Amino acid sequence: MLLDTSDDVARRVDAALAALTGESPLPLEVSADPAAVGTATVELRWREPSLHQHGPRWPGPGGGAGSTWPSSDPGGAAGSGPGLLVGLGTPPAGSADAPAAEPWLVAGLAAGACLDRDVVLLPPASGPPPDDAAAAALGCGLAAGLLGTSADAPATDPPVVHLTGDLAPLLPAVRRGLAEGAAVHLARLLTSAPPGTATPARTAAWAQRGAAAAGVDCEVLDEHQLAEGGYGAVLAVGAGSAEAPRLVRLRWRGAGERVDLAVVGKGVTFDSGGLSLKSAAAMQSMRSDCAGAAAALAVVLALAARRAPVTVEALLPLAENLPGPGAVRPGDVVTTRSGRRVQVLDTDFEGRVLMADALIAALEGAPASADREPPRLLVDVATLTYAAPVALGDEVGALLARDDAAAAVVLDAARTAGEPLWRLPVAERYRDQVDLGWAVRNHPLHERGRAITAALFLGEFVPRAQPWVHLDVAGPAWRGDASAEGATGFGVRTLLEVARQLEG
């Protein structure tokens, strides 16, 4: 289903915010009470070669994770009523690029999109059973899948998923996953929204609305406040659009004053390339260029909704990159909030410019303070370069970090969350491609290694002593063609897991 009208978008976003912040109940419940079990079933299965060699193919020609197949005889404890077989793919090898929780998340999304009645969830008869991480991923998928297809109004009689047998002890993990699914759903919805509706100002207003509901501190800087504050990089990216840029800062104070996790999310609500105009085909899905900001917003609201004992801050730099009369020209020099200058050689390399100011702001705090302790961990998430999916394909995100310990924290969280990340090097040998001494240039003048040089550019605005991780999610942030609601919400579960590890 494609979002089509401003009213429709507003209604759906309001409903998603209400579900995430607890203003309305989720349209799905989970129970371990066997007395309430009906006859409809959802059975999970690993792909078993014998089923393909000596009988009908199941659950469909590929048998991959997320494949679904109707069944009139699931053969489980719930009886022989109509059911749904959901594929888990082949049993995972447990490698870093194939997290063990990933098939459970994918299977949950597929099953959730089909739920219209109470069901009993049957564990797989063979292959690895779910643990807490897999159960949370499954719950996240069930909620996100159902929310993506359900009506805007809260369900008066939501379907119940009943856990049986060995699954019953996993009830708390599944419930945690349901709440995470609401966060994933919001990120997907904001990213897929038409850019003429999800403008910088409108997106900032949604952030304010969610923050008010969740008890999150929220500050929004408009174009006048950005100019007064010296945010020249944010202003430069948005200079060609009639829709003025915004910078949103959200903080959930769940622990002490020091920020445990600061997240900067790239929020280009539409990217035409500016004066360095993209081709028509390359522009078609560029409403997705705000996926990082959508993820960062969803994470802070989700942590606040469960009153997480961790202090988290998110910076959302929001702008449209258009070739209007005031647009920045290739060759222009802009000054960031820190005073460091940026030479813009290609206006389609705008994300790193926008994020420079936001990284500086994340390290300063609000209000800016010279004696503020820096965040324990700074993570930025962005659909930043085409080079990342060229290297890693469309399903694996790129992680770049100067600090091995910081990289390990995020990689471990991603494996637990079921979101595949792969570490690329921050190769200092390429630094002279971006560092001119008197300025940093946004284009390296080289065709190769651009995911690395993008990280090197961002690193010019992050002190070397600061634990910092850069996530380039240009590949896995979107699935399908430009007409689809293709946003995946990639990164939300990883960041929530990072925060969970930092709690206390």
- Written as six digits, the tokens of 254 are 């769940």
* C-beta separation of 255 from 234 below 8 A: no
Distance, CA of 367 to CA of 339 (rounded, Å):
18
Distance, CA of 58 to CA of 87 (rounded, Å):
8
Distance, CA of 223 to CA of 137 (rounded, Å):
40
| 184: nearest Cα among 462, 493, 436 | 493
| 182: nearest Cα among 497, 492, 413, 503 | 492
- Note the residue count of the chain: 504
Q: Which of 175, 209, 278, 431 is catalytic?
A: 278
| 453: nearest Cα among 317, 291, 345, 340 | 345
- Angstrom CA distances, 189 to 85, 298, 339, stand at 27, 11, 36
| 265: nearest Cα among 316, 324, 309 | 316
Residue 448 per-residue DSSP state: S
Q: Which amino acid is at 502?
A: L
Site of tokens 């960041």:
495
Q: Which of 47, 266, 352, 415 is catalytic?
A: 352
Distance, CA of 71 to CA of 252 (rounded, Å):
46
Q: Where are the beta strands (DSSP E) in 435-489?
A: 440-441, 468-472
- Spatial neighbors of 483 by CB under 8 A, at least 6 apart, are 2
Phi, psi of 473 (to 5 degrees): -110, 30
* 216: alpha, beta or left? (left if phi > 0; alpha if psi -120 to 50): beta
Q: Is 12 a catalytic residue?
A: no
- Spatial neighbors of 256 by CB under 8 A, at least 6 apart, are 311
Cβ count near 257 (within 10 Å): 9
- Bridging pattern class, strands 246-253 and 217-221: antiparallel
Evaluate the CA torsion angle 149, 151, 152, 158 in order and state its sign: negative
Q: Is 352 a catalytic residue?
A: yes
- Angstrom CA distances, 84 to 74, 87, 328, stand at 8, 10, 54
- Written as six digits, the tokens of 387 are 């080079």
CA 494 from chain center: how many Å? Answer: 8
* C-beta separation of 180 from 494 below 8 A: no
Coil/strand/helix, residue 265: strand
- Spatial neighbors of 369 by CB under 8 A, at least 6 apart, are none
| 140: nearest Cα among 200, 90, 182, 191 | 182
By annotation, the residues acting in catalysis are 278, 352
